[in-house]
Structure 1
């Protein structure tokens, strides 16, 4: 079954591709088998993360970016991370309504995924879904995060270029950037730039970049600031050009290899961590773990010693 689905996916079958993404979302063992089989076909897509607070217009902006990318003949993949439905466990919004005009385009594949409780604005299976779309033949894959502000940092572990979308008049916007997003953004977008306060937002971002001048000089890339009005296409081509410019910088400087090595390292660590958690659960069981936790609460044992005992019993090695 899997071999047939993979063969169809590699020839551009959308239904097979959708089925494979569902499998990597829901079945860890099948995900392992799928990724093992398709991995030699990956590594060709460029991944762009679109992040920022709710209400910034990320979906509308992405809808227009898809249009520009398609005009250049790019095959486009989109993974839109949505909140989880409390009833079905699926993506709350489903495939984004604003992007549905592209659903009949054979050169565009759009998929919504639920966070299922994972933090960082990304679903746990995002990395595997990206690999499926990469093998499917996408030239560029956009990953739109759920939009939860200050915990969107995980996008840096996924994307080659990170686009941070903000809007004028959003009170905690710059505060959120100071909290860590400033360090991961490669391109800043001031969307809805026809609103009052756009100039002030531009000034604040520029000033903050000036304060971090030494960092950008070490990196060799000062993040670009692009003003857009997504509903009218204003600034969209400038944004696409800024993304392309950043890609050229990464490839020219060799930074893209460093980024992808970092991404692979983080992915392997995540897989190892998940496997260890499962082994611990299988070897000890909830009752024994709860007993050790109770000892920590009663101050009979410290947390580090409790963790050592759990790992020693689960893995059979002295830690």
Structure 2
């Protein structure tokens, strides 16, 4: 089956076809002729792109499952890219997230894919952006990206998602994390999950105290704080409403278009950087020459670039 037929089948709800197209993106990257043809066939779409990040153990996958159920009640098609750590043996994704989302495995309106990081830092895989555009172009109404959960440096999701949720949980040191720079600063909506546990009120207070220190211009978005018990679907309706409110704010003026332009620019730069690294490889012999003192780093770099002057 050719790419046009696969795209048509995927748009009609064939999850096997969607899986094959995602595999094309993952295995071919975004620089092959096949990937270029696929991009042309699936351009367009206007999905709500939601990023979900937070430390391991805060309940990201459980929350994703609850959000899927809420959006399916609105008859929206939902695609999920759950970024997992790579297996040290096969290089593939460790499928923990898909196991926790098994309630939606038979729903034809839901597509869930575990994506291996394959060594990429920042909480995402190198091809996550292309995967998001593919699902959007296949007609999904909502695309959720769940990051691998690597900690405070996990900020790449903010450049990919329209709305980024940061999950915290009581009793995990998140009250201290709330006053530190890093991943906390990228959130559009804060979510204190497992809010039935002791310490939830304290986590909310810490977030409010942090937000009170941030100066905002008139009309600037002010992040809401939602409390949820995802395992019992409590607070999910309020969270969905907060996400919708942020999308409405983005749609005012040029916020959404500007964010997507910046996302495209970041992806182009990342692709250019990868192509340059591939073209200008540093050989083991050259590295050994620098390590042995036979040449210096600057001269070695000029030789890689083909400039010996």
1:74 is displaced (CA, Å) by 1.0
Structure ranking higher in helix proportion? 1
The residue correspondences of 1:99-118 to structure 2 (distance < 5 A) are 99-118=101-120
Q: 1:241 to 1:256 in 2, by over 3 A?
A: same
Structure 1 length as normaliser, TM-score?
0.89
**Runs of 5+ unmatched residues, structure 1:** none
2-side partners of 1:227 and 1:105: how far apart?
Answer: 27
Deviations 1:75-113, CA, capped at 9 Å, x for gaps: 111110111112222111255222111121111111111
1-side partners of 2:280 and 2:78: how far apart?
Answer: 40
Task: Specify the SS of the correspondent of 1:81.
Answer: strand
2-side partners of 1:85 and 1:13: how far apart?
Answer: 28
2-side partners of 1:309 and 1:176: how far apart?
Answer: 47
Report what 2:25 is aligned to. Answer: 24
Task: Specify the SS of the correspondent of 1:312.
Answer: coil
Report what 2:180 is aligned to. Answer: 178
Report what 2:237 is aligned to. Answer: 237
Q: 1:172 to 1:64 in 2, by over 3 A?
A: closer
2-side partners of 1:309 and 1:62: how far apart?
Answer: 49
Deviations 1:31-69, CA, capped at 9 Å, x for gaps: 6334432343x3411100000000000111111111111
**Alignment partner for residue 122 of structure 1, among 117, 121, 124?**
124
Is this contact kept in 1: 2:178–2:207, CA < 8 A? no
The residue correspondences of 1:27-176 to structure 2 (distance < 5 A) are 27-28=28-29, 29=32, 32-40=35-43, 42-93=44-95, 96-171=98-173, 174-175=176-177
Is this contact kept in 2: 1:51–1:165, CA < 8 A? yes
2-side partners of 1:306 and 1:32: how far apart?
Answer: 34
Is this contact kept in 2: 1:24–1:34, CA < 8 A? no
Q: 1:20 to 1:30 in 2, by over 3 A?
A: farther
Is this contact kept in 2: 1:46–1:140, CA < 8 A? yes
Superposed CA RMSD = 2.2
Report what 2:303 is aligned to. Answer: 309
1-side partners of 2:7 and 2:291: how far apart?
Answer: 50
Q: Runs ≥4 in structure 1, deviation > 4 angstroms? A: 298-302
2-side partners of 1:87 and 1:293: how far apart?
Answer: 28
Q: 1:114 to 1:31 in 2, by over 3 A?
A: farther
1:5 is displaced (CA, Å) by 1.8
Is this contact kept in 1: 2:3–2:38, CA < 8 A? no
The reply to whether residue 292 of structure 1 matches residue 282 of structure 2 is no
1:292 is displaced (CA, Å) by 3.4
Task: Specify the SS of the correspondent of 2:89.
Answer: coil
2-side partners of 1:112 and 1:307: how far apart?
Answer: 38
Is this contact kept in 2: 1:9–1:136, CA < 8 A? yes
Is this contact kept in 1: 2:7–2:42, CA < 8 A? no
1-side partners of 2:173 and 2:23: how far apart?
Answer: 38
1-side partners of 2:213 and 2:245: how far apart?
Answer: 23
Q: 1:25 to 1:218 in 2, by over 3 A?
A: farther
1:133 is displaced (CA, Å) by 0.9
**Runs of 5+ unmatched residues, structure 2:** none
Is this contact kept in 1: 2:190–2:224, CA < 8 A? yes
2-side partners of 1:246 and 1:278: how far apart?
Answer: 39
2-side partners of 1:222 and 1:146: how far apart?
Answer: 26
Q: 1:62 to 1:272 in 2, by over 3 A?
A: same
